[in-house]
Amino acid sequence: MLNKAVFFDRDGVINRERGEYTWRLEDFTINEGLIEFMKFAQEKGYLLIVISNQGGIQRGKYSLHDVDIAHNYLKEELKKNGVELADIYICPHHDKTERCFCRKPQSIMLEKAIARFNIDVTKSFFFGDSARDVEAGNAVKVKSIQIEPNSSLLKYRDLL
């Protein structure tokens, strides 16, 4: 049986896009409406998966451990509200320092999640705040929606 999923970009969709790298907890602010939207999607049977470029790791701005701390905080905040992420996929590379195959707009992170969780792409969505998010989602035939950074996802509930 195939599963359906909602994929989320991180910075600008899940947490506040600040215009600079976000890895410290004091800078990690969950966007308004996100938890309610995720809870709604989960109740509708969607798996919740994060797909995020984290190029600051390769650039030496922060470490994978720093990202794990932020993601553990996110998971705990979601868990308090009965929401569980299926997984978080990150690309630690930066296109200014290395050519890789996992950084969005490439679709490798999505492809891995689709294969691992047996996802029906025709019943799944990807919410991102940039053209590269939409390009990655379109490459795997997932309905991709580009939102304004830091806007509430609640207005998209009717899509699910």
The residues annotated as belonging to the active site are 9, 11
For residue 43, give the DSSP letter. H
Q: What is the dihedral of CA 79, 21, 109, 148, to 10 degrees?
A: 80
CA distances from 57 to 8, 66, 74, 93 (A): 20, 9, 19, 7
Cβ-proximal residues to 157 (8 Å cutoff; 6+ apart), any chain: 37, 40
Closest C-alpha to 139, from 109, 117, 107, 111: 107
Phi, psi of 33 (to 5 degrees): 85, -10
Q: Is 91:51 a contact under the CB 8 Å cutoff?
A: no
